[in-house]
Structure 1
Amino acid sequence: MKQFATSLMVVAHNYTELGQYEKSEEHYLQAIKVAKKLEDSFFVAMIHHNLSITYSEAKRPQDCLNAIKHALRNKEWCGLSYYINSLYMIAKELVMMGENNKASYYLKKGQENLRQKQNKIYEAKINIIHELSQSPLNERVDRFHSHMNRLAEQNDFDSIRDLALITSKKFEERGFYKEALKFSNKAILAEKKMKQLEGI
């Protein structure tokens, strides 16, 4: 049964990659039902976390938050390296929704976790989300570039693309069009780098 649920997760992930979010959600929800029958709460938490990524891609922020919070209710999940990923995801969604005060709670939790368990990639990602929650944004351009350069050192161009697009959108919302364009270009360059690394 666990193998079946895992297969459903793989199919769901593939649907997300193809942008078929409803089909992906369908498979994840089916996998959750199976995991619940197995009474495997950690597995249920893992599926919810993966489902939250689909909701994020599908621009369904509230569903994304609900799915992450479900994962965060599992103590075993919170004791492992996945925890920082969930904290980052929830902070990112909240900042994108303009809920900066709520985001700061999860950013602090993330920073506390990183003090105990070093992770250069998540340190840079959490720092970028933290900068996005502050103002004035136009005084933080160098910091954004610095954190993104750290991600480039780790070859994490996927995160650079994602975060550069979010950063560009935030600058555009506040009327800083020149900066918005710079980060939009940074996302395009990161996409090219990803393709080079994948040999496409």
Structure 2
Amino acid sequence: MYQSAEKLLDKIPSEIERADFDFKVAWLYYRLSHIMLSLSYIRRALHVYKRHKQYERRTALSYSLIAANLTEIGRYEEALENYRLAEEVLTSEQDDFMLAQLHHNVAILYSFWNKPKESIRHLEKALSHQEYYDSDFFFHSTYLISRELCVIGEKQRASQYIEAAYARIKDASHEVFQLKIGIVHDLYLTHAPQRFQQIDEKLRKLEEKNEYHEVKELSQFAAKYCEKQALFEQSVFYLNKSLEADLHMKRMGLI
């Protein structure tokens, strides 16, 4: 549908509307792991937003999406620089809520970079903002901080965050979060013999919801854990699961 709409863009006189279109397409390609396509669209949108003073928030979001794409391909220093540029814009705008969101995104970068302590530090900054803490973004940060705490062996703190999150779950809208944090719990906080069957069932449910981006990331996470535990056959299984999810996303992008 976006490809059909793009053919009509030349008839749209507003460059801001065209930039908004590019922003949305860039986000879609990012979710499909088509990194270079996403970067192409978002850089084009950013070029427009930077020329319009009242679009500072979109400028900051564009820098953040560039950083997220660069994170996916391991260009961490460049990603950090784009987050720094986004932070400058948001600080000048005194947008504390978006700054809290930015800290969460920087934490994702450090997680990819295998720097869990830095990731935790930024997540604590995000969660220290009361409005952010009270919003649904709380669940995203709680999932990530519990995961990173498990990685460095602080299982008790991780368990406390998980319990706090479960206490706030009210309806089925948080089911994806429950599945994700449940996988973290099953990997690190339980030693039940059937825990891998439980993890596989949760991954299957995420697939049913077309959450292939989450399946890819969590499968990689599980594979690393299993490798460290010398569970090499299980590690290979999850690596294959991650590759299957990646291939599925690419097929979706070609339809």
Whether the TM-score (by the shorter chain) exceeds 0.5 is yes
Match of 2:188 among 107, 122, 133: 133
Match of 2:121 among 48, 66, 70: 66
Residue 18 to residue 134, structure 1, CA distance change in 2 (3 Å): closer
Kindly provide the amino acid, as one letter, of the partner of residue 120 in structure 1: E
Alpha-carbon RMSD: 2.0
Kindly provide the amino acid, as one letter, of the partner of residue 145 in structure 1: D
> SS of the residue aligned with 1:119?
helix
Unaligned stretches of 5+ residues in structure 2: 1-52
The answer to whether 1:89 aligns with 2:144 is yes
Residue 191 to residue 14, structure 1, CA distance change in 2 (3 Å): closer
Give per-residue Cα distances to partners, 1:75-132, cap 9 Å, x unaligned: 1112222110010011111122232222111111221222467312111001001111
Give the alignment of 1:13-92 within 5 angstroms: 13-92=68-147
- Counterparts of 1:60 and 1:146, CA distance in 2: 29
Residue 6 to residue 75, structure 1, CA distance change in 2 (3 Å): same
Residue 5 to residue 179, structure 1, CA distance change in 2 (3 Å): closer
1:95/1:132 contact within 8 Å kept? no
- Counterparts of 1:139 and 1:14, CA distance in 2: 36
With the length of structure 1 as denominator, give the TM-score of the two structures.
Answer: 0.89
- Counterparts of 1:185 and 1:75, CA distance in 2: 40
More displaced stretch, 53-62 vs 128-137: 128-137
Aligned pairs, how many?
A: 200
More displaced stretch, 45-54 vs 26-35: 26-35
With the length of structure 2 as denominator, give the TM-score of the two structures.
Answer: 0.71
> SS of the residue aligned with 1:19?
coil
Aligned twin of 2:216: 161
- Counterparts of 1:190 and 1:162, CA distance in 2: 9
More displaced stretch, 179-188 vs 124-133: 179-188
1:25/1:51 contact within 8 Å kept? yes
The answer to whether 1:182 aligns with 2:248 is no
- Pair member with larger Rg: 2
- Counterparts of 2:186 and 2:77, CA distance in 1: 33
Give per-residue Cα distances to partners, 1:141-188, cap 9 Å, x unaligned: 110111111111111111112111221222232232222222222222
Kindly provide the amino acid, as one letter, of the partner of residue 19 in structure 1: G
